[in-house]
Amino acid sequence: MSRFRELVIAAALLACGPAFAQSAPPVALGRPALPQEIAAWDIDIRPDGVGLPPGKGSVKDGEQIYLERCAACHGEFGEGAGRYPVLVGGQGTLTKDAPDKTIGSFWPYASTVFDYVRRAMPFGDAQSLTADETYALTAYLLAMNEVVKDDFVLSKENFASVKLGNVGAFYDDDRETTEKAFWREPCMKDCAREPAKILNRARALDVTPDSKTGPKVE
Partner 1 sequence: MSDKTVNRRAFMTAAGLAGAAVATGARAQTPDPLITEVQPWNKQLGDGVQANPYGSPSKFEKHVVRRDVEWLTVSRESSVNFTPLHELDGIITPSGLCFERHHGGVAEIEPGKHRLMIHGLVDKPLVYTMDDLKRFPGRINRAYFLECAANSGMEWKGAQLNGCQFTHGMVHNVWYAGLPLKALLDQAGVKTNGKWLLAEGADSAGMTRSIPIDKAMKDCMVAWNMNGEALRPEQGYPLRLVVPGWEGNMWVKWLRRLEIGDQPWHHREETSKYTDLLADGRSRRFTWIMDAKSVVTNPSPQAPLRAKGPNVLTGLAWSGRGAIKRVDVSLDGGRNWTTARIEGPVLPLSLTRFYLDFDWDGRELLVQSRAMDDTGYVQPTKSELRAVRGVNSIYHNNGIQTWLVRGDGETENVEIS
Q: Which residue's CB is nearer to partner 1, number 151 or number 194?
A: 194
Q: Which residues of 152-187 are buried (b: 16+ CB within 10 A; e: fewer)?
A: bbbbeeebeebebebeeeeeeeeeeeeeeeeeeeee
Does 190 bind partner 1 (CB under 8 A)? Our answer is yes
Q: For residue 146, which phi and psi values (nearest 5 degrees)?
A: 55, 30
Instruction: Tally the C-alpha atoms within 13 A of residue 78's C-alpha that lie toward its C-beta.
Output: 21
15 near partner 1, judged by CB under 8 A: no
Alpha-carbon distance of 144 to 121, in angstroms, equals 18
Taking CB under 8 A as the criterion, the residue among 38, 149, 151, 177 binding partner 1 is: 38
Which of the ranges 52-60, 130-138, 140-148, 207-215 carries the binding residues for partner 1, by CB under 8 A?
Answer: 207-215
CA dihedral 18, 22, 23, 25 (to 10 degrees): 120
Smallest distance from partner 1 to CB 202, Å: 4
Binding to partner 1, residues 129-158 (CB under 8 A) = none
- Give the footprint of partner 1 on residues 41-100 (CB under 8 A): 41-48, 82-84, 94-95, 99
Q: Which residues contact 123 (CB under 8 A, 6 or more apart)?
A: 73
Question: Smaller CB distance to partner 1: residue 67 or 126?
Answer: 126
215 contacts partner 1 (rule: CB under 8 A): yes
Q: Does residue 199 bind partner 1 (CB under 8 A)?
A: yes
* Site string (97-126) toward partner 1, x via CB under 8 A: --x-x----xxxx-xx--xx--xx--xx-x
Rounded Cα gap, residues 55 and 164, in angstroms? 21
- Taking the complex as a whole, the smallest distance from the CB of residue 149 to partner 1 amounts, in Å, to 24
Binding mask 17-36 for partner 1 (x = CB under 8 A): --xx--x--xx-xxxxx---
User: Which amino acid type is present at position 191?
Assistant: C
